Structure 1
């Protein structure tokens, strides 16, 4: 399937299971910590400045947001996790929303994209999200964002630490990425199109 990611439009926000989209189109689910630059990665992929909300303070995506790509697939922006300045009740609501998406998601998620910060060891929340993607059985792509913040000599050890922490094999896809500079964009787009059988 050919997919033109530059042709994307906001479709809907889902704050409950009843609002999930189930129309049979492929869904690429993007997950990551609140401050990992998930919205920036999505905007870079779509070639837009602000289609996905880039918050001055992390933790602004509190619902599941669906973006229709080329009228053929959805890019699904999941709520950011792990941000401390949010009430416990709100965190629990996000948690329930995410769990119901993943419980259903095995049949809907075409590929999962887990965004981690290349500068840091993946957190316990990252590991949990990684496990959720694995349990749905969908292909998973790890995107190590903020590559532009590292010196060349730091890149390999950083990638190795992510591979070890998430227990990745050689077959698992890990893409060093810079939302700032666009490094890794073409590779990620190619993997997503392939996941659709493109």
Structure 2
């Protein structure tokens, strides 16, 4: 049976089943999860490095041309290094999520939750899955919204620190894999 971790809750008086209780299970990452996290780290790190490297290269060329062909004002070089430092801090702040993903990958654990008390909320351009009991808030792809049946219980797996969604399903099939095959 798909819901082995869920236990039926009774109201105590009549013995009626009124809801499923949320159970949280810590599991180890499987090979597919590790592969998905590594690919995500590589892609986001690659594109951010290319972007910020291009900006630094462009600034270096512009500042170099100004130094060689004009007489720059005093403090010009310190201003250049302040701008480079500003872009370095932006690069690090953007890659904090990658650092958290790497820590999750090194720990090798994921959390699996099965519940029927959750909400799907769209705020601005992001869609979130929020559990009612513990208020776990996970960002999900808006394309997943059409695949999730809000009337059925849901099971999802995510990493602890980076909150990377690894598995989400109303039944036995991972909707993330279904979404990936539809995009291909």
- TM beyond 0.5: no
TM-score if structure 1 supplies the norm length?
0.22
Greater RCO, CA 8 A, separation 6+: 1
- Bigger CA radius of gyration: 2
TM-score if structure 2 supplies the norm length?
0.23
Q: Which has the higher helix share?
A: 2
